[in-house]
Structure 1
């Protein structure tokens, strides 16, 4: 398996919970998690763009949305089959559609989770 870097919004309560789960599942420590709210953190593209949409890099290639989730999943043995399945375009398209739907409801879900929204 390859090393993966994941950037996340450290002000998003949903993101914090998800990253906490991924850290627990990442027993091999194959993922580097970068909190974008820490401005000293390296950021390969526009910081706001990365905070608005999930990003990850795998083998030096930057992914966003469903492709970024798939890259992260491939680094976690338990989720690896799902990440590998997402290499098929129809599976990735299905996951991307679900992710875009989630993004529409993200602000409301953040409010329900008790987080502050700066956007």
Structure 2
């Protein structure tokens, strides 16, 4: 069993949608493949050099080499640690598909406040 995760995912634990997504990744990811770091507490001290507010605004992941990626690249890196989703990883390395995924994610982020409200009501 590995002692260090492959990647660290930074997420907004105050966001009902984010918590559901992270819950799914936790259940499906390979053992110890992903470290999940909740940056929502006001006193959170993220383990990277990116501000807490920026980490909460957009999905980020720290890779094994220490670099931090965001958006589509971060999602595809996380998905690649999930056996059922590993086939999605090439989407993150293809420039055209990553561009499209980032535009879709940007659109989602604009709708996120309303979706968070709705998800909160459904709990």
TM-score (norm 1): 0.88
Query: What CA deviation, in whole Å up to 9, does each residue of 1:11-61 have, x standing for no partner?
Result: 000000000000011132200000002415524311001100110011221
**Does the 8 Å contact 1:54/1:68 carry over to 2?**
yes
Asked which structure has the greater RCO (Cα within 8 Å, sep 6+), the reply is: 1
CA RMSD of aligned residues (A): 1.6
Task: Give the Cα–Cα distance (whole angstroms) in 2 for the partners of residues 103 and 18 of structure 1.
Answer: 14
Number of residue pairs matched by the alignment = 114
Show the counterpart of 1:54: 59
In structure 2, C-alpha distance between the alignment counterparts of 1:94 and 1:40, rounded to whole Å: 32
Q: What residue ranges of structure 2 are gaps of 5+ in the alignment?
A: none
Instruction: Assess if the C-alpha contact under 8 Å between 1:57 and 1:71 holds in 2.
Output: no
Query: For residues 27 and 87 of structure 1, what CA distance do their matches in structure 2 show?
Result: 21
SS at match of 2:8: strand
Residue 107 in structure 1 maps to residue 113 in structure 2: yes
Structure 1 unaligned blocks of 5 or more: none
Residues 33-42 or 99-108, more deviating: 33-42
Superposition pairs for residues 1-119 of structure 1, below 5 Å? 3-38=6-41, 39-59=44-64, 60-114=66-120
Superposition misfits of 4+ residues, deviation over 2 angstroms: 40-44
TM-score between both structures, scaled by the size of structure 2: 0.85
| CA distance in 1: counterparts of 2:106 and 2:56, whole angstroms | 14
